[in-house]
A = this chain, B = another copy of it.
């Protein structure tokens, strides 16, 4: 086995025969988590004040390590017949996963730039997106997304019903409460802020109806909100159950 093939087996979780992460990929996951934690924590003044130099140095270290990892991925892409040669590597670099990697890599140069504007912040957001790469490490995720896809129509119908209920409850509350609370319920979009908080059962409590009729309608909205949680949960439970059943019927051994 060549060095490139061995490295590919370390980098690509699908190229491995055994389940689980390789030693190298475990290091990379740890690095991604550490660099994300760093970005999150350094936005807090109580953490970053007086340690700017140290944080920049650590970020530079992360940038170097991730650049190395990207180079290794470019090299190993040649193991796949589709991505051989210069043109193949460019085609690989255009795949969505590779683009996220590149964008995350580019964002690491941001701390070297001056200024603290919105552009820099959006680049930092991209750096947080780095975590999205973790998704490809797992095969279990594919079973979940298969179940989600199999029931996408039912979930869409439920979402549409939820949208209608959202519009209905916010319109009713706007009609009933806008006279008493013009700031909180003065327009349908404002009432929708309350309606989303109620239907999802979050219930911030920053605005709430005060008239008797408004409270009756709000209570009905809250009860409907339970159905809004019960419907997708029931659909997903049936979908996961169905996927398990189908795999057993197909002769697949249970994973446990």
Q: Please, how many angstroms separate the alpha-carbon atoms of A174 and B138 in the complex? A: 30
Given the contacts A131-B164, A171-B125, A202-B203, A229 and B231 also touching, CB distance less than 8 Å: no
Q: Is the CB of A167 within 8 A of B204?
A: no
| Contact-residue size bin, chain A (C-beta under 8 Å from the other chain) | 35 or more
Does A109 touch B at the CB level, under 8 Å?
Answer: no
Using a CB-CB cutoff of 8 Å, which residues 22-57 of chain A contact chain B? 36, 39-41, 43-45, 47
Q: Is the CB of B226 within 8 A of A232?
A: yes
Given the contacts A138-B153, A222-B197, A223-B200, A131 and B167 also touching, CB distance less than 8 Å: yes
Contacts of A256 in B (CB 8 A): 149-150
- The dominant DSSP class at the A interface is helix
Q: Please, how many angstroms separate the alpha-carbon atoms of A144 and B227 in the complex? A: 13
- Which of A58-66, A76-84, A85-93, A184-192 lies at the binding interface? A184-192
Contacts of A67 in B (CB 8 A): none
Does A7 touch B at the CB level, under 8 Å?
Answer: no
Q: Please, how many angstroms separate the alpha-carbon atoms of A187 and B121 in the complex? A: 12
Contacts of A118 in B (CB 8 A): 175
Does A102 touch B at the CB level, under 8 Å?
Answer: no
Q: Please, how many angstroms separate the alpha-carbon atoms of A204 and B118 in the complex? A: 29
Does A238 touch B at the CB level, under 8 Å?
Answer: yes
Q: Is the CB of A160 within 8 A of B135?
A: yes
Query: Separation in Å of the A181 CB from the closest CB of chain B?
Result: 13
Q: Please, how many angstroms separate the alpha-carbon atoms of A197 and B175 in the complex? A: 21
Does A219 touch B at the CB level, under 8 Å?
Answer: yes
Between A and B, 9 residue pairs with Cβ closer than 8 Å are A44-B190, A118-B175, A196-B219, A198-B202, A200-B222, A201-B203, A227-B232, A234-B236, A237-B241
Query: Separation in Å of the A55 CB from the closest CB of chain B?
Result: 14
Q: Please, how many angstroms separate the alpha-carbon atoms of A233 and B150 in the complex? A: 18
Q: Closest residue to A148 on the B side, CB-wise?
A: B231
Q: Closest residue to A228 on the B side, CB-wise?
A: B226
Q: Mark A231-255, 1 if CB is under 8 A from B, else 0.
A: 1111111111111101000000011
Q: Please, how many angstroms separate the alpha-carbon atoms of A138 and B161 in the complex? A: 12
Q: Is the CB of A186 within 8 A of B45?
A: yes
Q: Name 19 extra pairs, CB < 8 A, besides A128-B168, A144-B154, A202-B203.
A: A40-B171, A44-B186, A44-B188, A122-B175, A125-B175, A131-B160, A131-B164, A135-B164, A139-B153, A200-B223, A201-B201, A202-B202, A202-B222, A205-B205, A233-B237, A234-B236, A235-B236, A237-B238, A241-B241
